[in-house]
Structure 1
Amino acid sequence: MSLATPISNAPRAPLSSVDLGLYGATVFAWGFSWIAMKGQVGSVAPEVSVFWRFVMASSVMFGWSLLRGHNLRFALADHLRFAGLGALIFSTNFTLFYYGAALLPSGLLAVVFSLASVLNLFLALLLFGQRPNLAALGAGLLGFSGIAFMFRPQILATGVDYDALRGLGFCVLGTLSFCLGNMLSASNQRKGLPVTPATTWGMLYGTLFLGCFAALKGSSFAVEPTFAYLGSLTYLAIVASVIAFGSYLTLLGRIGSTKAGYATVIFPVVALAVSTVFEGYVWTGSAIVGLACVIGGNLLMMRSR
């Protein structure tokens, strides 16, 4: 992991090989995380599963930071920012999606989360005054439309009932929490706070918040001693949390929230490919049209300024 370059409003050069590497790592790590999440939804309370996920992830991050010689001493005001990251990205976001996963198909979860690319545009406008150009806005909407086409069968098969609406509400709130965390991370990098220490402290604060929430809720901290649960927990902690978030938040500082956020539109494509191999997903005409829209939107976003 490297320190992020502060975000700038100036026109940006084409993506470098480092940017593309970070982008690919983010997309594939999160793309496989949806099938891993299936092994987490069951008898263990969502907040407890996320708690243990970030116990592991924050431990690895502290070890990595110490090994790399990162300075972990910061002022109180900076720790408040890190606590905000913990609350928005490393606890609330995940817990809400775990609750949604118990009520909705995984494809629909990915569709809702892909809204982050569009929400980032509007939040950047509201909070930082960064006006999205028409190409970037069109790319985000085209990508989201593509995801909707790809998961059209699951969406149509999901009855509009109380549980479905409740699950959708969890996921929308989780996506909003993630996007607000994006904006805070962008603000932190503008202030010159390095990505790795900020992520390290953010994961620790998120773990503490989750532990307190689970304790107050009276949830058991016991986990399922099965290969499926422990294997998925390890993947989600190390690959989908440490590697993916280190890559994503660094990318956020290098290329901005608009382009970085589009990774959340692409990774459902990877999730669908994984589902094809392991779950027998059947490609339909709407899925093929959706894939074309996602690829077209991705190219348009990468070319936007």
Structure 2
Amino acid sequence: MSEAPLSPATQARVFLPLAVVTLVWSSTWLVIRDQIALVPPTWSVAYRFAVGAMAMMAYAAVTKQTLRLTREGWRMAIAVGITQFVLNFNFVYRAEHYVTSGLVAVVFALLVVPNAILGRIFLGQGLSGRFVAGSVVAGLGIAMLFIHELAAGGAGQAAVAAGIGFTLMAIMSASTANVLQATETAKRQPMVAVLAWAMAIGSGLNMLIALATVGPPMFDPRPAYALGTLYLGVIGSALTFPLYFGVVRAIGPARAAYSSVVIPVLAMGLSTIFEGYRWSALPAAGGLLTLAGLVIALKARSPAR
């Protein structure tokens, strides 16, 4: 059967969480850019999710929510910790070494594509021709953005290619975590407990990786770095991930990616203001084409099945 439109009650229930996530995550791209000035990315990721895990555990204590997990719950926490809080964020932080935060955010909007494809494979959710067509249009828009970057020659073709590659790997890692959260197994687990332990596991693994690859802990003494770490850990993680994954559980990973259409618009605006990104006809057309393609894809209904 076809995927039914969301009921007014469901729309009301998911609108506010998605609005909060969209506004917060639009700003985190720029904060991440500042985080990688002096400190190796893996250490910055480790600090972020150590703060996030502590904030979530404090929230659980205040609200008297359990942090206990079953064996099934621990497997879910480990899987989400590795895919979301180790792989995804290490790739994102590294991507921002090579291209502006706004461009990484625009490419990351393609998260809707693997979310829908993996949802089809593992959750039985259908794919329509309109979705495929919209995804192709969005891909052409992304190509136009990076043709402009390559032609500009600022960071060099190898750097731009690295930025694209790291972002695409981040998308696949995040999409895996998204689909995991939409499974019936995840829905049986307490959200706060799974995410608190997933962040703690992710932070611990990041610390081990950092020790093995770049050496002892490093910390940027600037107040902006400390404040940025707190913002990313508490607001950008402990607040937003429970909201976002709650929406994923409620309406599925593809529909939850509606936020990815708006986030790059706001992120590119911030990049223009704070990073000096300069628009010309080609990247402007590419950005609009990307967003148009995503809107087409997200408005598609699943085919009968």
Quickly name the TM-score band, shorter chain normalised: 0.7 to 0.9
Distance 1:107 1:154 in 2: 13
Counterpart residue number, 1:121: 116
Shift of residue 143, structure 1, vs aligned partner: 4.6
Counterpart residue number, 2:74: 79
Name structure 2 gaps, 5 residues minimum: none
Distance 1:20 1:231 in 2: 29
1:207 pairs with 2:203: yes
Distance 2:29 2:67 in 1: 32
Distance 2:223 2:296 in 1: 39
Q: Residue 244 and residue 45 in structure 1: after superposition, are their counterparts in 2 closer, same or farther (change >3 A)?
A: same
Deviates more, 1:135-144 or 1:167-176: 135-144
Distance 1:188 1:197 in 2: 16
1:249 pairs with 2:245: yes
Counterpart residue number, 1:4: none
Shift of residue 232, structure 1, vs aligned partner: 1.9
Shift of residue 90, structure 1, vs aligned partner: 1.0
Counterpart residue number, 1:294: 291
Q: Residue 141 and residue 250 in structure 1: after superposition, are their counterparts in 2 closer, same or farther (change >3 A)?
A: farther
Q: 1:239 aligns with which of 231, 235, 238?
A: 235
Amino acid at match of 1:202: A
Counterpart residue number, 1:5: none
Q: Residue 28 and residue 139 in structure 1: after superposition, are their counterparts in 2 closer, same or farther (change >3 A)?
A: farther
Q: Residue 293 and residue 215 in structure 1: after superposition, are their counterparts in 2 closer, same or farther (change >3 A)?
A: closer
- The TM-score with structure 1 as length reference comes to 0.85
Distance 2:150 2:12 in 1: 37
Shift of residue 10, structure 1, vs aligned partner: 5.5
Distance 1:82 1:170 in 2: 24
Counterpart residue number, 1:112: 107
Deviates more, 1:78-87 or 1:239-248: 239-248
1:52 pairs with 2:32: no
1:11 pairs with 2:4: yes
Distance 1:188 1:225 in 2: 44
Contact kept in structure 2, 1:85 and 1:184, CA below 8 Å: yes
Q: Give the CA RMSD over aligned residues.
A: 2.7
Q: 1:174 aligns with which of 158, 170, 174?
A: 170
Contact kept in structure 1, 2:26 and 2:266, CA below 8 Å: yes
Distance 2:5 2:66 in 1: 29
State the secondary structure of the residue aligned to 1:16: helix
State the secondary structure of the residue aligned to 1:248: helix
1:271 pairs with 2:271: no
Contact kept in structure 2, 1:147 and 1:265, CA below 8 Å: no
Distance 1:167 1:151 in 2: 10
State the secondary structure of the residue aligned to 2:183: helix
Counterpart residue number, 1:229: 225
Distance 2:35 2:97 in 1: 10
Deviates more, 1:38-47 or 1:139-148: 139-148
Amino acid at match of 1:180: T
- The percent of aligned pairs where both chains have the same amino acid is 25
Contact kept in structure 2, 1:144 and 1:265, CA below 8 Å: no
Deviates more, 1:98-107 or 1:222-231: 98-107
Amino acid at match of 2:264: P
1:22 pairs with 2:17: yes
Counterpart residue number, 1:63: 58
Distance 1:216 1:262 in 2: 38
Shift of residue 189, structure 1, vs aligned partner: 5.7
Distance 1:188 1:51 in 2: 29
State the secondary structure of the residue aligned to 1:298: helix
Distance 2:115 2:14 in 1: 19
Contact kept in structure 2, 1:186 and 1:257, CA below 8 Å: yes
The CA deviation string for residues 192-248 of structure 1, in whole angstroms up to 9 with x for no partner, is: 223222211211111111122122225221211102222222221122212221221
